[in-house]
């Protein structure tokens, strides 16, 4: 589910909000798996966290442009 900045910049604000919501839900699921020791690949947490930051950054850039 790795999102690239170029792909995200092509989306509008509504699509970015939906993407952010999906990422936050995925992060929650991974955190729960990690807490119950069911998560074998813990690097997924870092990847999701970076994707969330990337999405929020592009959302704020679009808000400043408008």
pTM to 2 decimals?
0.90
Q: For residue 52, what pLDDT is reported?
A: 97
Is residue 16 assigned to a domain? yes
Count of the separate structural domains present in the chain: 1
Per-block average pLDDT, block size 10, for the chain (66 residues)?
A: 81 96 98 96 96 96 90
Residue 27: give the domain boundaries: 12-65
**Cβ–Cβ < 8 Å for 55, 16:** yes
Is residue 2 assigned to a domain? no
Q: For residue 66, what pLDDT is reported?
A: 77
50/16 Cα distance (integer angstroms): 15
Helix axes of 43-65 and 13-35: crossing angle, nearest 10 degrees: 160
């Amino acid at each position: 589910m790795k999102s690239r900045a170029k792909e995200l910049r092509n989306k509008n604000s509504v699509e970015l909000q939906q993407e952010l919501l999906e990422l936050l839900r995925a992060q929650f699921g991974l955190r729960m798996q990690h807490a119950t020791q069911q998560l074998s690949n813990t690097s997924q947490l870092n990847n999701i966290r970076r994707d969330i930051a990337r999405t929020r950054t592009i959302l704020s850039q679009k808000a400043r442009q408008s």
